[in-house]
Amino acid sequence: MEIVITRWEATLHPVTTKEVNEILDRLEKENQERAKKDDAVKKAQDFMKS
């Protein structure tokens, strides 16, 4: 199984359903972590403005 992510696209090469679910779970977790970091940065920037 292989996932290839470039700037313009993400390509999944032949995989099982279990592997796809694991990848989607991992990507969702990464997105949630990124959102938390972005939110923390925004809060810090808003605090600095006030």
The pLDDT value given to residue 50: 80
The pLDDT value given to residue 1: 64
Contact 46, 31 (CB under 8 A): no
- Per the structure block, which two tokens stand in for 7? 């700037």
pTM for the structure as a whole: 0.58
- The tens-digit pLDDT sequence of the chain (50 residues) is 677 888 888 887 777 888 889 989 999 999 999 999 999 999 999 999 88
The domain limits of the chain are 3-49
The pLDDT value given to residue 14: 74
